[in-house]
Amino acid sequence: MMKLKDYFNSHNGQVLQRIVAAVFLGYLVTNLLSILLAYLLPLPLNDAAKTATLSSFVIYSIIIMWCFTKKDIAKVWSRLLIVLAISALTIFLYNEI
């Protein structure tokens, strides 16, 4: 029987980790980046929200492709978590002003 640690080091485990990172973490990062983009665009709020929502499709596609092109899965997780934390902190600080 394969241990959990051995499974995550196998090829199937690596693919599963990339799928989880791309789908779930990529979705969170995309949502936060589109919210941040809507705040920062110098447009009326309705136009900024529409532009940010439409650009979120491109952002999410790029994140998914990027997750599968990197060789080191730890770098994928760490960089996505860093972008998630920075964008969440920026949105929080922007709302505090």
Q: Is 11 among the domain residues?
A: no
Q: Is 6 among the domain residues?
A: no
User: Average pLDDT for residues 81-87, to the nearest whole number?
Assistant: 96
7 pLDDT band (50/70/90 cuts)? low
pLDDT given at position 9: 75
pLDDT given at position 35: 94
Domain span holding position 54? 19-96
- Tens of pLDDT, residues 15-64: 888 999 999 999 999 999 999 999 999 999 899 999 999 999 999 999 99
What distance in Å separates the CA atoms of residue 6 and residue 52, rounded to the nearest whole number?
41
Q: Is 2 among the domain residues?
A: no
Our count of domains for the chain comes to 1
